[in-house]
Amino acid sequence: MKDKLSGIIILIIFVAFATYISLTDNSSKVINVITPTKIQIDTNKNGIIDEGETFCIPEITTFTANIRYNSAELAKKSGLTFAQSLEIGYMADKFAKNLLDGVSVKLETTDHKTPDCQYADIIIENKKYSNLLKESGFAFINNSPVSDTKFKTLLKEAEKLNLVILNHHSGKYHTLECQYGQVAHDAIIIPLIDIKKEYKPCKFCHVDKHNPNSTAIDIAAPPNIITDGNLKLILTDFTTILKPDRNCNHAACREFVSQINSATDTIDVASYGWANIPAINNAFTKAQKRGVIIRFVYDTNTKNTNYYSETDEFLSAFELKRSDKIDNEPKLTNMLMHNKFAIFDKQKVYTGSMNFSTTGFSGFNHNNILIINSKQIAEIYTKEFEQMYNGKFHTLKNKSENNIHVNIGNTNLSVYFSPQDKGMTNELSEIINKSKKYIYIPTFLFTHKKLEQELINAHNRGVDIKIIIDSTNTYGQHSVFKELRNVGIPVKVENYAGKMHAKTMIIDDEYLVIGSANFSNSGENKNDENMLIINNKILTQFYKKYFEYFWEKIPDKYLKQTVRAESKSSIGSCFDGVDNDFDGKIDNADEGCKNK
């Protein structure tokens, strides 16, 4: 009886001790390492990850091979390609997983918390994980490596790994640079040596179509900025930027901010609409404070709304502004004030095809931006701005004067404003009719009947014509791309999330046509637009190389097929947070992105 009682007492003591240990033990097991600085820990000890059990390391960033979380912005600031950042991110992931996977750790939480992360340091055997990351060489603080020497050594090691992106769903593997791989929904990064025989290489990034036996051929982007001192041309690459942002990292945005910051007297802006870009907002605020006079012209409709929902909020900070609303003229009001230009100190003009939006300033859409340093050109644009600012929009405007064949250094330049100047019907038609070698056209849409016939005539006399058109405009009622294809003119439909938003012709290494005006009846005869015809061999040949780069990157099958703008065939469109086909549905909510 005493032995039995003693056993019960011992059991009670053991249970009490175990309970005490359990209650006083504040360690928790690491369940998953998402990235080296984002870790999931089972704090409630139920064996699964619940809400509130994802922890981020404060004040430290690293690269990661998890494409969803790897920072293209940090890569750019570090002077790395995105592929290089994935390589060193792969090494950082391995370091973190070797330290943390399945290990019991303690947490030092902070007050900082976001919807998807509680910020905390992790304690492993009385050592702070943040310190271990710093010592490893993988850690960044304020966008700079903690140890520059160690980071450079790690970078050299990472380049030897020969990594690829494996998409389990498709059974294909891709180079790290390949956009098809980077947007794959079910992708991991592994060494090429670990690829199983049943997986096949992506034909777009691993095989040169001119030499099918070659491997790992990728198309390098040509330079995207050129200047001769008087003119600066900036092009954006929609094949490499698969999601818009507000960070103002692209040269198109940085140049705009620079011009605002340099202005001393006046800034006049005619813009279709606006998005809130913090760097631009701050630059305008500072300009106002130093006494710069800032005026805006913008588009509205009869309902007093703008295509860009943030336009009213942006413009609320400014007094001097005018929409294109014309009282008792609903037909005129519903025409577009579609310009995208700015005049700084009546000396410099910033213009082109780019809307002043997140998809524009981030480089997500393909656009061209031209900065012209010329009092004469600035005066031409200022006269047009003054007409609109004083209430003359659309067909109410007077024809431009002294706007044709202006010489700026080695460049001869004509500026046409719609709808009064008819630049497409006049000078552009004449240039097409005289073309002898080639006409390359990257364009958002093409519906202009007269220009269509002139392109067909040029094609029939042997001129090499190639057109890249945006995928959203292949089913439009007035689109002529099928007619152009039917007569043998090669028309490729782009297959990227961003828009082919240019309105450009590149002709015979002589003429470059850019601006806000689409090649359409509305672009010439209704909307407020500007179009430049530039006679400059260097600029024309520069843009020609960029067109040829896009032509190579878009598969030849899209010479015959079309692409649904929001679909798995349109690279990045199912993950970019943009309504690419304007149907009110975004990403996985769109039929084209759903798993069938």
Three-class secondary structure assignment of 326-388: CCCCHHHHCCCECCEEEEECCCEEEEECCCCCHHHHCCCCECEEEEEECHHHHHHHHHHHHHH
E-strand ranges in 383-455 read: 406-408, 411-418, 438-443
Structure tokens at 137: 């060489």
Longest Cα–Cα distance of the chain, Å, equals 117
Of 500, 493, 455, the C-alpha closest to 354 is 500
Spatial contact of 169 and 158, defined as CB atoms under 8 Å apart: no
Nearest-angstrom CA–CA distance, 279 and 480: 40
DSSP H helical ranges for 68-200: 72-77, 82-100, 129-136, 148-158, 179-182
Spatial contact of 406 and 377, defined as CB atoms under 8 Å apart: yes
Nearest-angstrom CA–CA distance, 381 and 109: 57
- Specify the pTM: 0.68
Of 238, 342, 334, 246, the C-alpha closest to 296 is 342
Predicted confidence pLDDT, tens digits, the chain (596 residues): 556 555 565 555 554 544 444 444 579 999 999 999 999 999 999 888 888 899 999 999 999 999 888 888 898 888 888 889 999 999 999 999 999 999 999 999 999 998 889 999 999 999 999 999 999 999 999 989 999 899 999 988 988 888 989 987 778 888 888 877 777 666 889 888 788 878 888 766 664 343 333 333 346 788 999 998 899 999 999 998 889 999 999 999 999 999 999 999 999 999 999 999 999 999 999 999 999 999 999 999 999 999 999 999 999 999 999 999 999 999 999 999 999 999 999 999 999 999 999 999 999 999 999 999 999 999 999 999 999 999 999 999 999 999 999 999 999 999 999 999 999 999 999 999 999 999 999 999 999 999 999 999 999 999 999 999 999 988 766 778 889 999 999 999 999 999 999 999 999 999 999 999 999 999 999 999 999 999 999 999 999 999 999 999 999 999 999 999 999 889 889 888 999 999 999 998 998 888 64
Domains of the chain: 25-158 (2.40.50.90), 225-559 (3.30.870.10)
Measured in residues, the chain has a length of 596
Sheet of 368-373, strand order: 225-227, 231-235, 368-373, 348-352, 340-344, 266-271, 293-298, 321-323
Nearest-angstrom CA–CA distance, 586 and 576: 9
Spatial contact of 546 and 366, defined as CB atoms under 8 Å apart: no
Pairing of strands 321-323, 293-298: parallel
Between helix 278-289 and helix 251-262 the angle, nearest 10°, is 10
